[in-house]
Amino acid sequence: MRTKLATINLQVADPQRSRRFYEDVLGMVEDARRSHPPSFVYLRSDGCDLTLATPPESSGAQPSRTIELGFLVDDIEAMKSHLSARGIRDHREESMGWGRALELRDEDGYRIVIYSFERAGGVDRR
């Protein structure tokens, strides 16, 4: 039996605010058939879909400091320009043996890592 990671659910304080972040900054697209506004949003991407929901308790979302969402891009420089154009300057850049990465936090404090695999001769699109 084969399995495929299909969705990740994040509990967030304001699903609509978070939806705008993931659409505008990371290019995800809402699936209106699966969303149930205002408290549940279903976002699609090429790799794994993401759902955003209000927490069941009224105390609000408490983002995990151990969750990391990784987004693969072809061009880190273009992504840096994209972030800057959206007013996102609070990110950290790293260069590693396998490639380059940008680390930032979403509207609720979840860790976002945007990375590109680089090899001699070009980008590895894995």
In order of their start, the domains of the chain are 7-123 (3.10.180.10)
Could you give the percent of the chain with pLDDT greater than 70?
86
121-123-126 Cα angle (round to 5):
125
CA distance 116 to 118: 6
Structure confidence by residue, pLDDT tens digits, 9-55: 999 999 999 999 999 999 999 999 999 999 999 999 998 999 999 88
More confident site: 112 or 96: 112
pLDDT of residue 120: 40
Q: Which helix (H) or strand (E) holds 29?
A: strand 29-30
CB-based contact 63:21 (threshold 8 Å): no
More confident site: 1 or 39: 39
Q: Model's pTM, two decimal places?
A: 0.81
